[in-house]
């Protein structure tokens, strides 16, 4: 079995994420009716107000500020994140200090130890020539979903560098399971391998090792997200979305080996982002190229039990 080797280092700036992870509870998630969710017809909610968001490549719903979404541009932009609400209103631009944007491809959010984090995924490598891919962990700022736009700076709390045992890979799909404090990555091309990486409790002097746990039979994978309860994962290709469901206590390795559920997705110019919304059920998508849309696949009310 091939391995993904990971080097982890903690930034001197910001809160030490490692210490928080060592104190967080790691028990199995509670039960849910995840497999009974019904999705409605996709619809366009709005276009993003801020025209600097012209290559929205990653998308996540904030955990600290309900109703706030976060996105970033693809390669070539500054290392910065954009906040907006469900109506597309621009809420602020935040420079990420201590980071670079070589090829940011996805964005994740998770909570641990009473704190909330955004994970910026500098993992794109179209030509498979970079020695490292990088994950930047920053603490999510408090943003008023209905307030005026404000700009700011975010310090990197932790940096994880990745190197693949089988050579450089192009990875555009990354998500975090908050319930197990584990990062999942899916390679875009080739075998579309799912990699599993527990977030380290402390900075490691030696290399860490994450292992491939499954292989997906999809067209190129461009985004993914895991629901806050850790029981659903949505995987996006250019044409479809696929949802995987696991039972409490079951591993994602087992869940990814089962048949997926194909979900309705809206047409987009170049869609490379997807996330679960604040309710942990509804799906949201953006697309590269202006005007940048915010699209929704609504979760319908739960069907009554027979």
Q: Average of pLDDT values for 128-132?
A: 83
271-290 pLDDT, tens digit each? 999 999 999 999 999 999 99
pLDDT interval class at 260 (50, 70, 90): very high
Q: Average of pLDDT values for 241-252?
A: 95
Q: What percent of the chain has pLDDT over 90?
A: 71
- Residue 82, pLDDT above cutoff 50: yes
Residue 73 lies in a domain: yes
239 vs 130, residue with greater confidence:
239
Distance CA 51, CA 107 (A): 19
The three-class DSSP label of residue 253 is: helix
Residue 71 lies in a domain: yes
Per-residue pLDDT at 101: 94
- Name the average pLDDT for the chain: 87
Residue 112 lies in a domain: yes
Residue 223: name the closest of 269, 174, 264, 256 by CA: 174
Give me 149's structure tokens: 């736009």
Residue 132 lies in a domain: yes
Residue 304 lies in a domain: no
| CA distances in angstroms from 210 to 130, 203, 263, 286, listed in the order given | 18, 15, 29, 30
Q: Average of pLDDT values for 77-101?
A: 97
Residue 31 lies in a domain: no
- Residue 6, pLDDT above cutoff 80: no
Residue 306 lies in a domain: no
Per-residue pLDDT at 306: 58
We report the CATH number of the domain holding residue 157 as 2.120.10
Q: Are strands 90-97 and 152-164 parallel, antiparallel or unpaired?
A: parallel
Residue 231 lies in a domain: yes
pLDDT interval class at 25 (50, 70, 90): very low
pLDDT interval class at 17 (50, 70, 90): low
Burial of 64 (0-12, 13-18, 19+ CB in 10 A): middle
29 vs 82, residue with greater confidence:
82
Per-residue pLDDT at 5: 40
Q: Of the ranges 24-33, 112-121, 231-240, which one carries the lowest mean pLDDT score?
A: 24-33
Per-residue pLDDT at 66: 92
Q: Of the ranges 4-13, 69-78, 234-243, which one carries the lowest mean pLDDT score?
A: 4-13
The three-class DSSP label of residue 17 is: helix
Q: Average of pLDDT values for 72-95?
A: 96
Is residue 214 within 8 A of residue 264, CB to CB? The reply is: no
User: Residue 229 — φ and ψ, nearest 5°?
Assistant: -80, -5
Distance CA 175, CA 108 (A): 6
Distance CA 236, CA 225 (A): 9
Is residue 285 within 8 A of residue 269, CB to CB? The reply is: no
Distance CA 101, CA 80 (A): 8
- Residue 30, pLDDT above cutoff 70: no
Q: Which domain holds residue 169?
A: 4-23+38-299
Domain count for the chain, please give it.
1
Give me 129's structure tokens: 């020539």
Burial of 306 (0-12, 13-18, 19+ CB in 10 A): exposed
Q: Average of pLDDT values for 213-232?
A: 95
37-57 pLDDT, tens digit each? 999 999 999 999 999 999 999
Distance CA 272, CA 123 (A): 14
- Residue 249, pLDDT above cutoff 70: yes
181-215 pLDDT, tens digit each? 999 999 998 889 999 888 988 776 655 666 889 99
pTM of structure:
0.90
User: Residue 246 — φ and ψ, nearest 5°?
Assistant: -120, 155
Distance CA 24, CA 191 (A): 34
């Amino acid at each position: 079995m091939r391995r993904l080797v990971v080097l982890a280092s903690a930034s001197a700036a910001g809160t030490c994420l490692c210490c928080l992870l060592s104190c967080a509870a790691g028990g199995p998630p509670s039960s849910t009716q995840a497999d009974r969710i019904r999705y409605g017809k996709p619809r366009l909610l709005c276009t993003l107000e801020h025209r600097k968001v012209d290559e929205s490549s990653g998308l996540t719903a904030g955990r600290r500020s309900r109703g706030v979404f976060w996105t970033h541009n693809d390669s070539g932009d500054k290392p910065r994140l954009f906040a907006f609400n469900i109506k597309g209103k621009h809420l602020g631009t935040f420079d990420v200090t201590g980071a670079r944007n070589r090829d940011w491809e996805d964005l994740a959010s998770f909570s641990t130890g009473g704190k909330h984090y955004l994970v910026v995924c500098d993992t794109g490598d179209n030509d498979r020539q970079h020695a490292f891919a990088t994950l930047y962990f920053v603490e999510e700022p408090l943003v008023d979903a209905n307030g005026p736009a404000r700009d700011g700076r975010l310090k990197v709390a932790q940096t994880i560098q990745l190197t693949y045992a089988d050579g450089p890979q192009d990875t555009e799909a990354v998500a975090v399971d908050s319930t197990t404090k584990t990062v999942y990555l899916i390679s875009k091309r080739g075998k579309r391998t799912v990699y599993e990486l527990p977030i380290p409790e402390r900075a490691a002097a030696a290399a860490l090792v994450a292992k491939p746990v499954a292989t997906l039979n999809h067209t190129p994978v461009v985004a993914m997200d895991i629901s806050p309860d850790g029981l659903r994962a949505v995987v996006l290709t250019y044409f479809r979305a696929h949802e995987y469901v696991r039972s409490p206590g079951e591993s994602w390795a087992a869940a990814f080996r089962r048949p997926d559920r194909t979900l309705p997705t809206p047409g987009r110019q170049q869609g490379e982002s997807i996330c679960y919304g604040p309710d942990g059920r509804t799906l949201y998508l953006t697309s590269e190229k202006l005007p940048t849309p915010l699209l929704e696949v609504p979760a319908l009310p739960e069907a009554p039990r027979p």
